[in-house]
Amino acid sequence: MIPQRIGAFFDFDETLLDTESSRLGIKYLWERRLVSQGFIVKAFVAGFLFRHHLISDEQTAKILLRLYRNRRLDEFKEGSATFYREILQPRLAPNILAKVNRHRDQGHSMVLISGSIRYMLEPVALDLGFEHLLCTDLEEGPDGLLTGRPKGPLCLDTTKRHLATELARINGIDLDLSYAYGNHQSDLPLLELVGFPHVVEPTGPLRKIAVKRNWPILAYR
Task: Give all domains of the chain, ordered by start, each with its CATH number.
Answer: 7-218 (3.40.50.1000)
- List C-alpha distances in Å: 67 to 36, 70, 76, 123: 9, 9, 11, 21
Whole-angstrom distance between the N-terminal and C-terminal Cα of the chain?
40
Model pTM? 0.92
Tens of pLDDT, residues 70-80: 999 998 898 89
Q: Give the DSSP letter string of 194-216.
A: SSEEEEES--HHHHHHHHHHT--
Supply the pLDDT for residue 94.
Answer: 98
- The single-letter DSSP state of residue 217 is E
Mean pLDDT computed over 161-185 = 97
The mean pLDDT value of the chain amounts to: 93
Q: What's the pLDDT band for 2 if we cut at 50, 70, 90?
A: low
- The answer to whether 11 and 183 are in contact (CB under 8 A) is yes
Cβ–Cβ < 8 Å for 11, 182: yes
